[in-house]
Chains A and B, each alone.
Chain A
Amino acid sequence: MSHQRYPSMDPVKEPHSVSLKVLRYSFIESLSRQDDFPAIEAVPGAATHSSRTLGTTVNHKLCSRRPGSRVARLPVTAGTNPDPFLLTPILNLPPSFGSAYVGETFSCTLCANQDIPPEPPAPAQPPAKVQSQKKSIRDVKIEAEMKTPGSASVQKLLLGPHGEDGTPAATQETGVADAAGAGGVDLEPGQTLQKIVNFGLKEEGNHVLAVTVSYYEATETSGRTRTFRKLYQFVCKGSLIVRTKVGPPPYNTATTRKGFKQAEDENKPKKRRWIMEAQLENCSEDAMQLERVVLNLETGLRYRDANWIVSESTRPVLHPGEVEQVCFVVEEDGKGTVLEDSEGRVVFGVLGIGWRTEMGNRGFLSTGKLGARNTR
């Protein structure tokens, strides 16, 4: 995520008393990797050789997947390290921004810090004078907006942390109370106002997160309100390509397979039925596991899933570039009128695809309205 300071709206040329820092919340490469080195205390020059003379003593742990990956070296005390397995449960904070994908939620934290440089020790100055120059920082506020590629205007973001019911909770910073949520807080030296951004990514392309920090800088004799703004730009990439195809069922005879009772309906008017197939291609750079693929149908239609749940197989894992084909049988339920557009096209509804990537990170996409030509 590249960032730049917005051309200053602040007429004061002094450095700001508050700094803003941003970290993306991401669990990519979060489980540390390790190697173990048994027997490293082998004494060189051991007189007789046998692989067993190198007694195992202490396990030294290391992670070495690729340059830059982080390393865990765990004590084995609580037995929480599954060595010699590569992955360990200790969590790394993200080493870099990584990639952002459509369908996922972009999360980051914004930290506004009281960052006045500490007074250099100046014994020559009388203490009273130092006192008078001391600034206090009050009413610190963070606001954030997102500019998405598709819209001309910006979208104001609701900032967390949120309580269980979704209402803004008081920040838990030591001594900092964010009383009304919208109101600002006073910051002592070294204190931080921390906020959380959650934003559902729906479009490919350039996104800009604009963060505005405002605060009141007070000295004993005067005070002023100061504001600065920082822009953070990142690119959102496509995650999944969905191709759909709707066709007639391969046979029109009544079936007695599970889920259908067509045979007993011989006297009733024949229900129309379609086969809907979809190919889901992972176009991201990470493996994903499909969690659920569902149809949200218009009234008068019902469907039967013909995928991994029915076959009782495990959820499909799609490595980058891989394709999973899913299939549904859609039919009239006989209870309502099926919606048709002006060209006689039957409108089905939308296909929703939910997936998860590393450490359970969720993604969800839904297609536009799908439909089939009237086959009546």
Chain B
Amino acid sequence: MFGWLATRPRSSTKGPLDADEAPLKSPVVAQVAQAARGLSPQFRGSRSNSPFRSSSPFRAGSPFRASSPFPRSPARSSTPSGIVPVGERDFSHLLRPEIFHQLSPLSIPPPFRNTSKQPTPETPISELLAHGQFRAAAITSVQALTSSPVSATIAAAHPPVDPSDYARVFSLLYIRLACLCLIDSVPLAAQEAKALEDLNQAYYLDPITGAHLMPWELRLLAIRLQTMGFGDPRRAIMSYYEMAREAHLQIAKAAKAHDHSELELWKRRLAELGIRVAGALIEMEDLAGAAAHMATLRDQAQDGKLATAKALLWLHLGDVDAACRCVRDGKGGDVGEKVVLALVDMANGQFEDGLKKWTELKAELEESGIQDEMVGVNLAVCLLYLGRMQEGRQILEGLVDDGQSSRTLLFNLSTMYELCTDRAKALKVRLADRVSNLEPTSHGWEKTNADFKL
């Protein structure tokens, strides 16, 4: 139970009133100090009374003010002298080969391994990503990061990274971690993300502007992975609040400069952070907390997405009535409302009604030229629950024929194969073969054995 505690870096005992830390000689020494300096005074104050006030810090213009009396990262008001200039910073500690794991091709079904669709080692990473070759991209990015190409031609295709070129280092790290997640190797990604250590340490900040050197997306991903890697679910929530503060600062700045696109970007980021906090609470199994938090979020995009998200959370919790209320009166958008109501029928065990709704929605979307994989998959699940597995199986096979290959689709179809016969393995291998013949797209092409329950 406490095994993971040993791997968590010790928290610093610095408090919010402490001056900024002294310049860091070696970032390896820099410890995660989030626990001590993570939460803003406002947030801590709100925690002690009611964790989720009606005014959410994830709304632009809310009392989660940028003019905090204790400005924390990344907008540091004063820069300690003697800090290493950005251009001279050495990130070679993030490039050590021992950080990165070997990826075994054995988890890939043979039809994917033995085909001309497998990329050559010289294929540029951008092309690999465009064709959904995520495993190859994960391997290639490490070759560039660790300067360990197998041959001279590969070295020419993927030049080793310069440890001071932080933009390329972080870009490659993002590709590595995201691709690991996409090939269902999240536990490996969670281990590798630990090497980034404290994401708010001064070494990652521009001393002049206070801007974070990492791309926003890498920070979001790294937070999630570190949360898993260190086994500390609260870490994600604290970090998202930190980022929310930064978003507030940027919103204020953009508003002052009348930079409309920048303003919209940061408002969108802020709203997304609010939704990510809800996700983190769900992963902590604090469903009531997640519901209370979601209630404070306002639908800024007005596209029904947030309403649908709220309804899904209520369904997850089991409150079917509350799920209906979230999408009623057009709040969830036309399609969103129908999706939720069909799920509600299934949750109530009224599979005939659910089947009718899914069938109608499928026909409706197809009329507008949309083939929604989710609708097809749920229709098939509904049929299975009604004792009509053969029809469900045909629908799922039709989706594969049309080029769909999400993991849920393949998993559900493989499960149906297992129900159909003692010789399900042959059917699953045939399915793997069919999917391997699909044209690679940026949505991903290579699958793992687990996808086919092999």
Please give the residue numbers on chain A whose beta carbons come within 8 Å of chain B beta carbons, in ascending order: 19, 21, 23, 25, 27, 31-32, 35, 37-46, 48-49, 51-52, 54, 57-58, 60-65, 67, 70-75, 77-93, 95, 109, 111, 113, 115, 117, 160-161, 164, 171-174, 190-192, 194-196, 287-289, 314-315, 317, 319, 355-362
> Among B54-62, B75-83, B94-102, B367-375, which stretch is in contact with chain A?
B367-375
Whole-angstrom distance between the alpha carbons of A191 and B391 in the complex? 12
The answer to whether A44 and B171 have CB atoms under 8 Å apart is: yes
What are 28 A-B pairs with beta-carbon distances under 8 A? A19-B422, A32-B408, A40-B179, A41-B129, A41-B442, A42-B215, A49-B166, A61-B406, A62-B182, A70-B408, A78-B365, A79-B336, A80-B308, A85-B275, A85-B279, A87-B316, A93-B381, A111-B389, A115-B423, A171-B388, A191-B390, A192-B419, A317-B291, A355-B318, A356-B319, A356-B320, A358-B317, A361-B347
> Among B28-36, B44-52, B148-156, B282-290, which stretch is in contact with chain A?
B282-290
> Among B17-25, B338-346, B428-436, which stretch is in contact with chain A?
B338-346
- What A residues does B384 contact at CB under 8 A? 93, 109
Distance of B395 from chain A, by nearest CB (Å):
13
The answer to whether B305 and A79 have CB atoms under 8 Å apart is: yes
Q: Which residue of A lies closest to B413 (CB)?
A: A93
Distance of B408 from chain A, by nearest CB (Å):
5
The answer to whether A91 and B318 have CB atoms under 8 Å apart is: no
| Interface 0/1 of B116-129, CB less than 8 Å to A | 00000000011001
| Most chain A C-beta atoms within 10 Å of own C-beta, residue among B306, B375, B406 | B406
Q: Which of B171-189 contact A (CB under 8 A)?
A: 171-172, 174-175, 178-179, 181-182, 184, 186-187
- What B residues does A288 contact at CB under 8 A? 318
Contact of A319 among B165, B286, B333, B365 (CB under 8 A): B286
Distance of B316 from chain A, by nearest CB (Å):
6
Q: Known interface pairs A85-B309, A319-B288. Does A289 touch B319 (Cβ–Cβ under 8 Å)? A: yes
Q: Which residue of A lies closest to B318 (CB)?
A: A356
The answer to whether B444 and A115 have CB atoms under 8 Å apart is: no
Q: Does B360 make an interface contact (CB < 8 A)?
A: no
Other than the known A32-B408, A74-B406, what 16 A-B pairs have Cβ atoms closer than 8 Å?
Answer: A21-B420, A35-B221, A37-B181, A62-B182, A67-B186, A73-B406, A77-B372, A79-B335, A80-B308, A82-B336, A93-B381, A95-B411, A113-B421, A314-B322, A317-B287, A319-B286
Chain A binding surface SS class: loop
The answer to whether A164 and B352 have CB atoms under 8 Å apart is: yes
Whole-angstrom distance between the alpha carbons of A350 and B119 in the complex? 68
Whole-angstrom distance between the alpha carbons of A75 and B181 in the complex? 18
Q: Which residue of B lies closest to A288 (CB)?
A: B318
Q: Which residue of B lies closest to A174 (CB)?
A: B390
- What A residues does B304 contact at CB under 8 A? 79
Q: Does B130 make an interface contact (CB < 8 A)?
A: yes
The answer to whether B317 and A62 have CB atoms under 8 Å apart is: no
Whole-angstrom distance between the alpha carbons of A88 and B372 in the complex? 13
- What B residues does A44 contact at CB under 8 A? 125-126, 141, 144, 168, 171-172, 175
- What B residues does A81 contact at CB under 8 A? 374
The answer to whether A89 and B442 have CB atoms under 8 Å apart is: no
Q: Does B348 make an interface contact (CB < 8 A)?
A: yes
Whole-angstrom distance between the alpha carbons of A40 and B443 in the complex? 11
Whole-angstrom distance between the alpha carbons of A376 and B370 in the complex? 73
- What A residues does B184 contact at CB under 8 A? 62, 64, 71
Whole-angstrom distance between the alpha carbons of A40 and B130 in the complex? 9
Distance of B41 from chain A, by nearest CB (Å):
27
Distance of A27 from chain B, by nearest CB (Å):
7
Q: Known interface pairs A19-B421, A41-B126, A73-B406. Does A91 touch B312 (Cβ–Cβ under 8 Å)? A: no
Q: Which residue of B lies closest to A175 (CB)?
A: B390
Closest 9 A-B residue pairs measured CB to CB? A360-B347, A49-B167, A86-B279, A356-B318, A161-B387, A71-B407, A85-B309, A64-B186, A82-B309
- What B residues does A315 contact at CB under 8 A? 319
Distance of B158 from chain A, by nearest CB (Å):
8
Q: Does B385 make an interface contact (CB < 8 A)?
A: yes
The answer to whether B335 and A160 have CB atoms under 8 Å apart is: no
Distance of B268 from chain A, by nearest CB (Å):
10
Distance of A68 from chain B, by nearest CB (Å):
8
Whole-angstrom distance between the alpha carbons of A361 and B343 in the complex? 12
Contact of A40 among B178, B322, B406, B412 (CB under 8 A): B178
Q: Does B331 make an interface contact (CB < 8 A)?
A: no
Q: Which residue of B lies closest to A81 (CB)?
A: B374
Q: Known interface pairs A42-B175, A289-B317. Does A171 touch B387 (Cβ–Cβ under 8 Å)? A: yes
Distance of A66 from chain B, by nearest CB (Å):
8
